[in-house]
Amino acid sequence: MNRLDGKVALLSGAARGIGAETARLMVEAGAKVVIGDVLDERGRETARTLGDAALYSRLDVTSEEDWRAAVAAALDRFGKLDILVNNAGLFLGKDIEAASLAEWARLCAVNLTGVFLGTKLCLPALREAARESAHGSAIVNLASTAGLVGSTQDPLYSMTKGGVTLFTKSAALEFARKGYRIRVNSMHPGTIDTDMGDQVLVARARNLGTNDIEAARRQVIDRLPIGRMGTPNDIAKGIVFLASDDAGFMTGAGLVVDGGITAQ
Ligand SMILES: NC(=O)c1ccc[n+]([C@@H]2O[C@H](COP(=O)([O-])OP(=O)(O)OC[C@H]3O[C@@H](n4cnc5c(N)ncnc54)[C@H](O)[C@@H]3O)[C@@H](O)[C@H]2O)c1
């Protein structure tokens, strides 16, 4: 199950957190990976730990030029591109009244424009690889539980992730209609222990009227049916599944990995 032998994947925002763990699991599953990020040093280090199966390409997801360079790097070094993981994302953690227009624009640029550009600019290579593959190519978009239900901490983040949820379904339908053989699915994590997870806890603590991040963490855990926060590995396993041929009958779907928070 969940093997990716012979596959080549490009992951945005994979220098750290969920993206880095997904790159690691993908290599373990037999794939070659291109790690894109704006954190050059961290991204190179993440790629280095994965050896010859990985390379780092600077990728600001808001830049068409960077996407072209990342796809070219995948083709030059590994010969094709089967999988795109649109993982890069920003969290803001501000109320509607506190957020500025510039902050909204930045959130949109990374969380929405980045997903659109990645999909559009990887499409030719993904189509090409799909022609040669039994089950076609795959795109996995990182949405969130905040893309399914409203967020108590960050309404603007929630608006962008809701967009990712429906873009995923629409792209799946478009590519199916056109016969491209590219599956598109979304991953919906709950609160996960990463740098972004810490930002979520800071916002929650602020809303509780305290600086006590541990109090915020306890509150999150108390509300989680599974009784713990998620790890990058919990999410990476789901992404690898969606990217693999084992998910060959899934497209336009969302996989919720949230410790049960949205079941309530
Ligand atoms: N951590 C959570 O609780 C959580 C929950 C739901 C969804 N998510 C989503 O999962 C994805 C990964 O989040 P994470 O928790 O690993 O966060 P993280 O902050 O640890 O990692 C995000 C990565 O994206 C990169 N990035 C930011 N702007 C970029 C840009 N313009 N171009 C390229 N890369 C850029 C960052 O440098 C970082 O390496 C995000 O899309 C996030 O919204 C996270």
pLDDT confidence band for 1 (50 / 70 / 90):
confident
Higher pLDDT residue, 131 or 1?
131
226 is written with which tokens? Answer: 């599974």
Q: Answer yes or no: is pLDDT of 10 > 90.
A: yes
Atom index in ligand 1 nearest the CA of residue 62 equals 31
Q: Answer yes or no: is pLDDT of 2 > 90.
A: no
CB-CB neighbours of 134 under 10 Å: 8
The residue behind tokens 């424009």 is 113
pLDDT at 78: 98
Tell me how far apart the alpha carbons of residues 170 and 29 are, in angstroms, rounded to a whole number. Answer: 29
pLDDT at 27: 98
Atom index in ligand 1 nearest the CA of residue 192 equals 3
Mutation choice for ligand 1 from 16, 18, 113, 154, CB with most ligand atoms inside 8 A:
18
Distance 110 CA to ligand 1 centre (A): 10
Distance 25 CA to ligand 1 centre (A): 17
Core vs surface per residue 55-77: b (16+ CB within 10 A) or e: bbbbbbbbbeebbeebbebbbee
Is the CA virtual torsion 211, 213, 217, 222 positive or negative?
Answer: negative
User: Of 78, 91, 157, 180, which residue is the catalytic one?
Assistant: 157
Tell me how far apart the alpha carbons of residues 163 and 156 are, in angstroms, rounded to a whole number. Answer: 11
Distance 178 CA to ligand 1 centre (A): 31
Distance 13 CA to ligand 1 centre (A): 6
In 3D space, the residue among 31, 25, 257 whose CA is nearest the CA of residue 148 turns out to be 257
Distance 132 CA to ligand 1 centre (A): 31
**What residues does ligand 1 touch, defined as CB less than 6 Å away?**
12-13, 15-19, 37-39, 59-62, 87-90, 110, 142, 144, 189, 191-192, 194-197, 200
pLDDT confidence band for 131 (50 / 70 / 90):
very high
Beta carbons of 118 and 142 less than 8 angstroms apart: no
Atom index in ligand 1 nearest the CA of residue 110 equals 31
Mean pLDDT of 22-27: 98
The residue behind tokens 């599956």 is 183
List residues bridging with 12 in a β-sheet: 36
Mutation choice for ligand 1 from 35, 149, 196, 229, CB with most ligand atoms inside 8 A:
196
Contacts of 170 (CB under 8 A, 6+ apart): none
Continuous segment of H or E residues that includes residue 237: helix 232-243
Beta carbons of 203 and 157 less than 8 angstroms apart: no
Beta carbons of 241 and 263 less than 8 angstroms apart: no
Distance 87 CA to ligand 1 centre (A): 6
Whether 56 is a known active-site residue: answer no
Continuous segment of H or E residues that includes residue 158: helix 155-177
- pLDDT tens column, 109-126: 999 999 999 999 999 999
Average pLDDT score, the chain: 97
Atom index in ligand 1 nearest the CA of residue 88 equals 24
pLDDT at 83: 99
Length of the chain (residues):
264
- pLDDT tens column, 57-89: 999 999 999 999 999 999 999 999 999 999 999
Mean pLDDT of 236-262: 98
Mean pLDDT of 35-51: 98
- pLDDT tens column, 154-197: 999 999 999 999 999 999 999 999 999 999 999 999 999 999 99
The residue behind tokens 């957190």 is 17
